[in-house]
Amino acid sequence: MREKVSEKALEFDREFLAEISGENSTNRERLNVVCRALKEAVRTDLTPRQREVLLLYYHKQMKMYQIAAMLGTDPSTVSRTIKRAKVRLKKSLRFYMEFLNCKF
């Protein structure tokens, strides 16, 4: 089954490709592009719960049992939510990572 791609997403991709395909682009510039793509993927591709759990786990560095207690769920639920969010982000960023690995 083929996923629908919005015009906004295509424009976002074109902008990044223009930035990272230049001959004079540095590793730092390419890293900045990937960071921006990650932020956009977190903002648009994750559910609100997945964003919240990832923020607590990675940014606030809370333990899974702490997040579970805070959200009133089981630690295994937090673990599954993190895993599903990472899978979604990997799918979202696969295009950029494949492009960077093949091109550079």
Q: Please answer whether residues 18 and 24 qualify as being in contact, where contact means their C-beta atoms are separated by less than 8 angstroms.
A: no
Parts of the chain with a pLDDT under 50: 1-3, 5, 102-104
What's the structural domain count of the chain? 1
Residue ranges making up the domain that contains 69: 7-103
Torsion (CA) 26, 32, 99, 58 in degrees, nearest 10: 140
Please check whether residue 2 lies inside any domain of the structure.
no
Please indicate, yes or no, if residue 1 is contained in any of the structural domains.
no
Position 95 in a domain: yes
Q: Which tokens go with 47?
A: 């559910």
Q: Enter the pTM of the model.
A: 0.69
Residue 23, pLDDT score: 57
End-to-end CA distance of the chain: 31
pLDDT of residue 104: 38
Alpha-carbon distances of 35 from 25, 29, 50, 62, 64, rounded to whole Å: 15, 10, 18, 22, 25
Which CATH number do you get for residue 38? 1.10.10.10
